[in-house]
Chains A and B, each alone.
Chain A
Amino acid sequence: MTGQSLDARAAGRQFRAPFRAYRSMARMALRSLVAYPVSFVFNLLASAFGALAMLYLWRAVLRNGGSAIGFDWAHMKAYLLITFITGSLVSGYTDYQMAFRIRQGDVATDLVRPVDYQRARFAETCGFAVYEAGTAIAVAACAAIAFGGVPVPPLRAWGLFLLSALLVLPLRFGVVYASGLVTFWTQNYVGVQAARIALVTFLSGAFVPLGLLPEWLRLTADVLPFAGMASTPALVYVGHLTGRAAFTAVAAQAAWSVALWVLARAFWQRASRQLTVHGG
């Protein structure tokens, strides 16, 4: 055995050890939700009521002869249910815990841990997301049945749809993580979170297809990462985004995922210098 291969193995171990750490963080995050199902269910119910209001509202609009850029009721249902599922991903556990630990000063412990802060939060987000996606899909399926079924896209569209839906995770994480970091300055998070949820919900097209917005607002949502957080996967699902346009939209999602990751890292460098922990 030469020295070189020993080094390589040591390096390999070093790489694997943190990954194992992230994996177990994701697992713990998942377990923390499973352990308190009552709280989680009510949390989910809260967002389900929002989706329910949208379903009824759009049903009334379409019944009253309103046009929704080529959406009929069946496709509108599908659109709203997909945006409900994507909206329940990264629904606020990550930033809430971050904000709490930053306010309390517990974040100091996170800083000395031998793991990357951002990756650790992303690992937890993935853990939460497994549970969030599972339950949201179950709720959406029930709603779909209660509202008389939704159309299913042809098999060849599924690959791109699933990829697009998966990319919602890093996109939403970028925004949620960055807004959690704002706590370093504001100390208050309830307000920041509420404003963030309202903005993202509206600009991602979760309640109203972006095509119905005034041109300048639609362009803003399309150019910024918002469209990729709900609208893109939902439009791919209902077949309004196909072919080249669909590929471009999904590529934009991927590009923004990377960009947000880098931007959030730069933001963290600035934010973590703001930390003041009293006592201890």
Chain B
Amino acid sequence: MGKPGRPRRRTGLYRAAWLYRRCLGAHLRSTLEYEADFWIMSVTAVITQGIGVIFLWTIFRTIPLINGWKFWDVVLIYSLVVIAEGLSQLFTQGIWNLSWVVNTGGLDPMLIRPYSPVLQVLSSEVGMNGLGNMALGIGLFAAAVSHSGVSWSAWRVALALVLLVSAALVKIGLNLVTSCAAFWLRTTYSMFPFSMHRLGELTRFPLTIYSTAVQLVLSIVLPFAFMSFFPATSVLGHGAPVWVGLLTPAVAAYCLFMGVWIFRLGLRRYESTGHLGRACRVCEAGHLRRPG
């Protein structure tokens, strides 16, 4: 353990980032106390997503192209979802505790600490399945890219990296937005954000297979398509106008902004324990229910 020494005066963004890392670090240490959990969660992530890829492969055994998309193109789209999922689990898994924290009054201590409550909630857990997802996701991404026949110039590599990170931030922003339902729904379960998470998983496949209404929902209402499909089209250079995918960083900023804004709206409604004047559900397991 390094001695913190005399803390320098930290201000603004730098202080926020430093505290975020410290919070995550503390939770990482407590998580690593349970070594078996770490292995179970990592292996689970690989099994779950791996089966998804086997499923894709099974379908493409019967057909070479789906709406003009080859197997490896779809794997690229799929891998972006897995990576976004992995990053959000590793760094912002705490958001899945929000309905528990809000509906049991657990937000109280967070409100009196001199640090943003949103960031405290986000950093309140490290999802160990994130490691499994990252490993598999990056492997799939690399395999898909090497089969895609895209010529890699320096700027395309840079573009791919920016899009990769922005795509994950879209996912994190949308997780935050949907989790804020905790302030309005009287349950300690994260059922609403979880069902929206499952809606987001529709973007593991090319957007063009869906009806117009579903496409509009996934690209405008809850723009999950910017987590995978649109960035992938920009990297591959086909499937949709390239400029749409280039909007990904802006969409990420928008989603994060909306998340923080709705969180603030929710905070105004927050009334501590017995929030909304109703006892919480007896079975506390609800706050554990989160995507594997």
Contacts and interface: CB of A to CB of B under 8 A. Distances in A.
Nearest to A198: B48
Contacts of B205: 53, 56-57
Contacts, number: 138
A245 interface: no
B199 A49 contact: yes
A68 B37 CA distance: 40
A38 B187 contact: yes
Interface stretch (B22-30, B52-60, B140-148, B247-255): B52-60
A229 to B, nearest CB: 15
Given A43-B191, A60-B67, A199-B47, A212 B58 contact: yes
B13 interface: no
B41 interface: yes
Interface residues of A, number: 45
Nearest to B67: A60
Interface string B9-50: 000000000000000000000000010110011011001100
A50 interface: yes
B214 interface: yes
Interface residues of B, number: 52
B36 A195 contact: no
Interface string B165-201: 0000000000000000000011101011011011101
Interface string A37-75: 011001101110110110011011100111110000000
Contacts of A46: 191, 194-195, 197-198
Interface string A195-217: 10111011000011000110000
Nearest to B285: A100
A60 B40 contact: no
Interface string B198-212: 110110110011110
A61 B59 contact: yes
B36 A186 contact: yes
Contacts of A280: none
Given A39-B187, A39-B191, A49-B195, A188 B285 contact: no
Given A38-B185, A191-B44, A198-B51, A56 B214 contact: yes
Does more than half of chain B's interface fall in helix, strand or loop, or is it mixed? helix
Nearest to A203: B51
Given A42-B192, A96-B285, A212-B62, A53 B40 contact: no
B150 interface: no
- Interface hub of A68, A99, A197, A208 (most chain B Cβ within 10 A): A208
Contact of A42 (B48, B194, B201): B194
Given A46-B198, A57-B209, A193-B292, A188 B214 contact: no
Interface in A161-219: 186-195, 197-199, 201-202, 207-208, 212-213
Given A188-B36, A191-B129, A199-B51, A57 B59 contact: yes
Contacts of A15: none
Given A46-B194, A100-B283, A190-B288, A65 B44 contact: no
B65 interface: yes
B61 interface: yes
Contacts of A36: 187, 281
Contacts of A187: 34, 36-37
18 contacts: A36-B187, A43-B191, A43-B195, A46-B198, A53-B204, A53-B205, A57-B205, A97-B283, A97-B285, A190-B292, A192-B40, A192-B44, A194-B48, A198-B47, A202-B54, A207-B55, A208-B58, A212-B59
Query: Which A-B residue pairs are the 4 nearest by beta carbons?
Result: A194-B292, A66-B63, A42-B191, A60-B209
